[in-house]
Amino acid sequence: MSDIESAIGKSLPRLEAAEKAAGKAIYTGDMELPGMLHGALLTSPYPHARILSYDVSAALELPGVKAIVTAEDITGGYIGLVCKDESALARGKARYIGEPVAAVAALDEATARLAARLIEVEYEELPSATTVEQAMAEGAPVLHEDFADYVKVYQAPEHEGNLLARAEAIMGRGVDGFDEADIIVEGSYEVGAQYHAYMEPVSVLASWGSDDRVTVWSSTQSIFRTQANIYEGLGIPMGKIRCIAPRIGGGFGAKAEVSGQLITVMLARKAAAPVRLVLNRDEDMITMRARHPGTIRVRTGAKADGTLVAREMELWFDAGAYSDDSPAVMNLALFYARGSYSIPHVRALGHAVYTNKLRLGAFRGFGNPQASFASESQLDEIAEALGIDPIELRIKNAIKAGEPWLGGQKIASCALVESLEAVRDASDWKRPREALPGKKRGLGVVGLAHTSAFLSAGAIVRLQGDGTIILNVGAVDIGQGSDTVLSQMCAAALGLDIEQVSFATPDTDSAPYNYGTNASRVTYTVGQAVHRAAMQVRMQLLEHAAEMLECLPEDLELRSGGRIGVNTEPPRNAEISFADIAGRSLWAVGGPITGSGSYIPNDPPNPEHTQMTGFLGLDALSVITFGAQVVEVEVDEITGQVQVLEAWCAHDVGRAINPGMVESQIEGGFVQGLGYALCEEMLWEDGRLVNPSFMDYKFPGTMEAPDKIHTIVLEIPEPSHPFSVKGVGEPPLVGAAPAINNAISAATGIRLKQIPLTPERVLRALLAKG
Partner 1 sequence: MINITLEINGEERELCVPAARTMLDALRNDLNLTGTKNACNQGVCGACTVLLDGTAVNACLVLAANIAGRKIVTIEGLGEGGRLSPMQQAFVDTGAIQCGFCMSGMIVSATAFLTENPKPSRHEIRAGLSGNLCRCSGYVRVIDAVILASERMGA
Partner 2 sequence: MEFYQPETIEQALALLAADPAAMPLAGGATLVAMLNAELVEPSALISLAGIEELSAVEAMADGTLWLGAMISHADLATEERLSGGHSVLRQAAAQIAHPSVRNIGTLGGAVAHGDPSSDLPAALVAADAVIKMASPTGKRSIAAGEFFEDYLTTVLAEGEMVTAVGLPRLPENAVGHYEKFARVHGDYATLSVALILAMKGGECSYVSVALGSAGAKPVRVPEAEARLLGSALDGAAVQDAAQLLSEASDPVDDVRGSAEYRLMLLPRLLQRALNVAVACAP
What does the alpha-carbon distance between residue 233 and residue 84 come to, in Å, rounded to a whole number? 10
Omega within 30 of 0 (cis) for the link into 246: no
Paired strand residues for 350 = 167, 315
Question: Which window, 27-35, 74-82, 148-156, 526-534, contacts partner 1 (CB under 8 A)?
Answer: 27-35
Closest CA to 657 of 3, 11, 4: 11
Among the listed ranges 195-203, 500-508, 517-525, 577-585, the one in contact with partner 1 (CB under 8 A) is: 195-203
Rounded Cα gap, residues 476 and 515, in angstroms: 10
Count of beta carbons in the 10 Å neighbourhood of residue 108? 12
Q: Who's near 139: CB < 8 A, 6+ residues apart?
A: none
Cα within 13 Å of Cα(304), Cβ side: 1
Contacts of 97 (CB under 8 A, 6+ apart): 43, 44, 45, 46, 47, 286, 356, 687, 688, 689
168 contributes a contact to partner 1 by CB under 8 A: no
Question: Which lies closer to partner 1 via its Cβ, residue 107 or residue 388?
Answer: 107
Question: Judged by CB under 8 A, does residue 436 bind partner 1?
Answer: no
Contact between 201 and partner 1 by CB under 8 A: the answer reads: yes
CA–CA gap between residue 601 and residue 16 (Å, rounded): 30
Q: What, of partner 2, partner 1, none, does residue 758 touch, CB below 5 to 8 Å by kind?
A: partner 2
- DSSP string computed for 68-94: EE-GGG--S--B-SSB--B-SS--SEE
Cβ atoms < 10 Å from Cβ of 25: 16
Report what 20 binds from partner 1, partner 2, none; CB cut-off 5-8 Å by kind: partner 1
Return the residues of window 641-700 that contact partner 1 according to CB under 8 A: 660-661, 663-664, 667-672, 693-695, 699
- Minimum CB distance to partner 2, residue 108 (Å): 15
In the window 419-458, what residues touch partner 2 (CB under 8 A)?
Answer: 438
Nearest to 554 by CA among 568, 571, 540: 568
Least distance in Å: CB of 221 to partner 1? 11
* Count, residues near partner 2 per rule CB under 8 A: 23
Residues between 651 and 690 with contacts to partner 2, criterion CB under 8 A: 679, 683, 690
Site for partner 2 in 281-320 (CB under 8 A): 282
Is 763 one of the binding residues for partner 2 (CB under 8 A)? yes
698 is a contact residue toward partner 2 (CB under 8 A): yes
Question: In this structure, how many other beta carbons lie within 10 angstroms of the beta carbon of residue 370?
Answer: 32
246 binds partner 1 (CB under 8 A): no
Kindly report the number of other CB atoms within 10 A of residue 648's CB atom. 27
By CB under 8 A, tell whether 735 contacts partner 1: no
Kindly compute the dihedral angle of the four CA atoms of residues 179, 181, 185, 186, in this order, to the nearest 10 degrees. Answer: -20
User: In angstroms, rounded to a whole number, what is the distance separating the alpha carbons of residues 48 and 130?
Assistant: 9
Q: Which does 25 bind (CB under 5 to 8 A by kind): partner 1, partner 2, none?
A: partner 1
Q: How far is the CB of 270 from partner 1 (least distance, A)?
A: 24
Q: Which of 281, 410, 439, 761 binds partner 1 (CB under 8 A)?
A: 281
Q: Is 270 a residue that touches partner 2 (CB under 8 A)?
A: no
Q: CA-CA distance, 360 to 362, in Å (whole number)?
A: 7
Residues 582-611 close enough to bind partner 1 by CB under 8 A:
none
Element spanning 483, H or E: helix 482-493
User: Among partner 1, partner 2, none, what binds residue 23 when CB lies within 5 to 8 Å by partner kind?
Assistant: partner 1
Interface residue list for partner 2 (CB under 8 A):
282, 438, 638-639, 641, 679, 683, 690-691, 696-698, 700-704, 758-760, 763-764, 767
Interface residue list for partner 1 (CB under 8 A):
11, 13-14, 16-18, 20-27, 29-30, 196-201, 247-250, 252, 280-281, 478-481, 660-661, 663-664, 667-672, 693-695, 699, 701-703, 705, 707, 709
